[in-house]
Amino acid sequence: MTGAPQQEPENFNPWDNVVGLIEQAGSLLGLNAGLVQRIVKPERILEVAVPVRRDSGDVEMYTGWRIQHDTSRGPGKGGIRFHPSVDVDEIAALSADMSIKTAVVNIPYGGAKGGVRVDPSQLSIGELERLTRRYAFGIAPIIGPDRDIPAPDINTDYRVMSWIMDTLSMIRGYNVGGIVTGKPIAIGGTFGHAGATSLGVTICTEALLKKLGRPLNEQRAVIQGYGKVGAPLVKLFADRGIKVVAIADVQGAIHDPDGIDPVKLAKHFEEARTVVGYPGAIDIPANMLFAMPSEIAVPAALGGVLTEEIAQTLSAKFVIEAANGPTTGEGAAVLKERNVTVVPDVLANAGGVVASYFEWAQDLQGFMWERELFQQRLEKTMRTAFDHVWTRQQQLGVTLRETAIAVGVERIAEATELRGLFP
């Protein structure tokens, strides 16, 4: 489990940012103000105390959240993150992002998100398991295959999902495989889930370059983050001829204008636990990553990293948002002014939630798909979503970000109006 390169800027409020995007989309679509506010307001916010007995015998208190933003289109769906920066505004924003994201790729889910404010690197395996199980117990009343289905996110993985599934199954008194996704194959996971977010990012990158008539083998990329998304991207890009020239992780950044070999980097990272010091590359300050000469920039870490200042120094003409909410409002304005094309997070990194949908469907059916079928359906879903957003952009005459948000809000609004208001 790997962390992310840097924290969000102190003055960046992710919830205010996403509310502004939804309201902007509502205005663009001409939606009723009351309907827009129904979409903005989270349906349910649960805060739970998470007491954990440390190995020393002492009890330490942590705080966790699970927020269900919108379920008009289906059960809530969204990851769980363990990170010291987690707070209610961050989780609320991410849950709203999930509502929009699932609508953009047109799968029958709503949006949800969860997290615990904790630094998991400071916990032993036993402490991490106890924290996970206590958090799962706290959110159990609102979780279920037909209500809300968690998945991995920052600093959580298949092992954490296994503990959550086991805890909730013990509470129910029977095995509930479809209650989380991102599980190991042995207990109901699916072929193809690992790396699905990275594959979705790659598919969107390919689709964008094809629309613009840009050969893949003439493109250079910089990637911020070398974790569950960033690491697979290095090889996926290299396999398609895109030269990755700079990478950053929590320790720093490296630059090699001749291109970074994904196999050699993976071996170096396994030994050093950082990209810094990779043979043949120059160590650079992390805040200089996006200034390195390139055509493609991929933020694949925490939110709020493409600030106004960073956007002004960005070298690339294309940004593919692999992270959730990586661009601040001020940063987005600068990118728009500079005519930088941005494939937003709600489209670019949706491969993960599409894969989760497939896993959930297979758990409910009791039938596992072959790896080839999984990948074919993932690629078809992502390409269809990209093509729809691209076509809708021509109609609306706004940026891809504004268009994707509008597509998501439009579909949520349709479902909300069709269901009506109870009572």
Domain count, the chain: 2
Does any domain span residue 12?
no
Do 55 and 159 have their domain in common? yes
Q: Is 113 an annotated catalytic residue? A: yes
Contact 335, 319 (CB under 8 A): yes
Do 202 and 177 have their domain in common? no
**Rounded Cα–Cα distance for residues 107 and 358 (Å):** 10
| 330, 348, 366 - which closes a domain | 348
Q: What pLDDT, on a 0 to 100 scale, did the predictor assign at position 280?
A: 92
Contact 84, 123 (CB under 8 A): no
Do 159 and 233 have their domain in common? no
Phi-psi group of 188: left, alpha or beta (phi > 0 → left; psi -120 to 50 → alpha; rest → beta): left
Tell me the β-bridge partners of 246. Answer: 222, 255
Do 212 and 302 have their domain in common? yes
Does any domain span residue 395?
no
Do 248 and 325 have their domain in common? yes
Do 209 and 332 have their domain in common? yes
Q: What pLDDT, on a 0 to 100 scale, did the predictor assign at position 262?
A: 97
Does any domain span residue 200?
yes
Q: What pLDDT, on a 0 to 100 scale, did the predictor assign at position 329?
A: 87
Which of helix, strand or coil describes residue 61? strand
Do 216 and 298 have their domain in common? yes
Determine phi and psi for 239, rounding to 5 degrees: -60, -25
Does any domain span residue 415?
no
Do 233 and 307 have their domain in common? yes
| 325, 348, 371 - which closes a domain | 348
Q: Which residue has the tokens 């992270």?
A: 323
Do 147 and 119 have their domain in common? yes
Query: What's the start-to-end Cα distance of the chain, in Å?
Result: 45
Do 103 and 178 have their domain in common? yes
Do 232 and 277 have their domain in common? yes
Helical H runs in 154-285?
158-172, 196-211, 230-239, 262-272
* Owning domain of residue 124: 42-187
Determine phi and psi for 22, rounding to 5 degrees: -65, -45
CB count in 10 Å sphere of residue 378: 23
Does any domain span residue 178?
yes
- 286 contact partners, CB below 8 Å, separation of at least 6: 5, 6, 224, 248, 252, 253
Q: What pLDDT, on a 0 to 100 scale, did the predictor assign at position 17?
A: 86
Domain containing residue 327: CATH number = 3.40.50.720
Among residues 77, 101, 113, 183, which one is catalytic? 113
Q: Residue 184 has which token pair?
A: 């190991």
Does any domain span residue 255?
yes
Task: Tell which residue, 288, 350, 352, 297, has the closest CA to residue 327.
Answer: 297
Does any domain span residue 157?
yes
Q: What pLDDT, on a 0 to 100 scale, did the predictor assign at position 333?
A: 94
CB count in 10 Å sphere of residue 201: 32
Contact 184, 194 (CB under 8 A): no
Pairing status of strand 111-117 against strand 76-83: parallel
Contact 76, 112 (CB under 8 A): yes
Do 220 and 79 have their domain in common? no
CA torsion sign for 255, 244, 200, 228 is: negative
Does any domain span residue 262?
yes
CB count in 10 Å sphere of residue 371: 11
| 187, 211, 236 - which closes a domain | 187
Q: Residue 37 has which token pair?
A: 């506010």
Q: Residue 375 has which token pair?
A: 């990948």
**Rounded Cα–Cα distance for residues 366 and 362 (Å):** 6
CB count in 10 Å sphere of residue 51: 12
CB count in 10 Å sphere of residue 178: 22
CB count in 10 Å sphere of residue 185: 12
Q: 10-residue block means of pLDDT along the chain (423 residues)?
A: 42 86 96 97 98 98 98 98 96 96 98 98 98 98 97 94 98 96 95 90 98 97 95 96 97 97 96 96 95 97 91 97 91 96 96 96 93 94 98 96 97 98 93
Domain containing residue 111: CATH number = 3.40.50.10860
> Is the N-terminal amide bond of 184 cis, ω within 30° of 0?
no
